[in-house]
A and B are shown apart, each in its own frame.
Chain A
Amino acid sequence: MNLSAEVDHTSAGVIAALGFTEEIAKLRRRIAAWIESCDTEVREALEWQFLAGAKYFRPLTIFACHRSIIPGPIPEPIMTSALVIEFFHNVSLIIDDILDRSDTRRGRPTMHTRFGELNALMVSGYIVADGYAQLGDDLRAIGLFSELLKRLGVAECMQWRLRRQPLGVEDWRRLAGEDTGSMFEVCACLGDRSSRLRRFGGLLGLLYHGCDDVGDVRGAAALGGGGDEDVRDGILTLPAALAIRDPTIGALFCKPDPNAQELEAIAHAFAARLPEAEAYLDRIAEEARSEARLFAVDPTLLLALIDETRRLSGR
Chain B
Amino acid sequence: MSDHSSRFDPSRGGSSDQISSLMGSVIDVWFKGFAALQAMAGRSSLDGARGEAVGNPFDTMLGPVADMAASLGVPGLDAVGARKGGEMGQAAISQLADLSPLVAQAGLAAAASAFRYGRAIAELLAQYQSSLLQAAADRATGHAVASPAECRVLADELRAFLRQVGDAAMQEARRLQQDLEVVGESIARTAGDATPTSHPDQRPPRRTHRVKA
Q: Are B163 and A196 in contact (CB under 8 A)?
A: no
Quick one: which of A233-274 are within 8 Å of B by CB? 245-247, 250
Whether B32 is near chain A, meaning CB under 8 Å from some CB there, is no
Q: Are A170 and B11 in contact (CB under 8 A)?
A: no
Q: Are B212 and A168 in contact (CB under 8 A)?
A: no
Contacts of A294 in B (CB 8 A): 171, 175, 178
Whether B174 is near chain A, meaning CB under 8 Å from some CB there, is yes
Number of interface residues of B (CB under 8 A): 24
Q: Are A162 and B152 in contact (CB under 8 A)?
A: no
Whether A171 is near chain B, meaning CB under 8 Å from some CB there, is yes
* Nearest CB on B from A43, distance (A): 40
* Nearest CB on B from A125, distance (A): 25
Interface centre among B8, B14, B210, by most chain A C-beta atoms within 10 angstroms, is B8
Select the stretch in B23-31, B52-60, B67-75, B154-162 that faces chain A. Answer: B154-162
Whether A149 is near chain B, meaning CB under 8 Å from some CB there, is no
Whether A314 is near chain B, meaning CB under 8 Å from some CB there, is no
Q: Are B8 and A168 in contact (CB under 8 A)?
A: no
* Nearest CB on B from A84, distance (A): 22
Contacts of A246 in B (CB 8 A): 149
Q: Are B147 and A168 in contact (CB under 8 A)?
A: no
* Nearest CB on B from A288, distance (A): 12
Q: Are B212 and A196 in contact (CB under 8 A)?
A: yes
Whether A222 is near chain B, meaning CB under 8 Å from some CB there, is no
Q: Are B213 and A245 in contact (CB under 8 A)?
A: no
Q: Are B156 and A168 in contact (CB under 8 A)?
A: yes
Q: Are A170 and B160 in contact (CB under 8 A)?
A: yes
Q: Are B212 and A245 in contact (CB under 8 A)?
A: no
Q: Are A171 and B210 in contact (CB under 8 A)?
A: no
Contacts of B174 in A (CB 8 A): 199, 295
A: contact size bracket? 20 to 34
A185–B147 alpha-carbon span in the complex (Å): 38
Known: A162-B11, A294-B175. A170 touches B213 (CB 8 A): no
Q: Are B11 and A196 in contact (CB under 8 A)?
A: no
Contacts of B160 in A (CB 8 A): 169-170
Residue from B159, B175, B210 within 8 A of A168 (CB atoms):
B159
Contacts of B10 in A (CB 8 A): 162, 165, 167-168, 170-171
Contacts of A171 in B (CB 8 A): 10
Q: Are A162 and B9 in contact (CB under 8 A)?
A: yes
Contacts of A69 in B (CB 8 A): 212
* Nearest CB on B from A254, distance (A): 9
B175 closest partner in A (C-beta) = A294
A192–B170 alpha-carbon span in the complex (Å): 19
Contacts of B156 in A (CB 8 A): 168-170
Whether B153 is near chain A, meaning CB under 8 Å from some CB there, is yes
**Interface code B170-213, partner A: CB below 8 Å = 1, 0 otherwise?**
11001100100000000000000000000000000000001011
Q: Are A194 and B152 in contact (CB under 8 A)?
A: no
Contacts of B175 in A (CB 8 A): 294-295
Contacts of A174 in B (CB 8 A): 8
A95–B8 alpha-carbon span in the complex (Å): 23
Q: Are A168 and B171 in contact (CB under 8 A)?
A: no
A291–B170 alpha-carbon span in the complex (Å): 12
Residue from A166, A290, A295, A297 within 8 A of B152 (CB atoms):
A166
**What would 13 A/B residue contacts be, using CB atoms closer than 8 Å?**
A158-B7, A166-B11, A168-B10, A168-B155, A169-B156, A170-B163, A171-B10, A173-B163, A195-B213, A196-B212, A199-B171, A246-B149, A295-B174
* Residue ranges of A at the interface with B (Cβ–Cβ < 8 Å): 69-70, 158, 161-162, 165-171, 173-174, 192-196, 199, 245-247, 250, 290-291, 294-295, 297
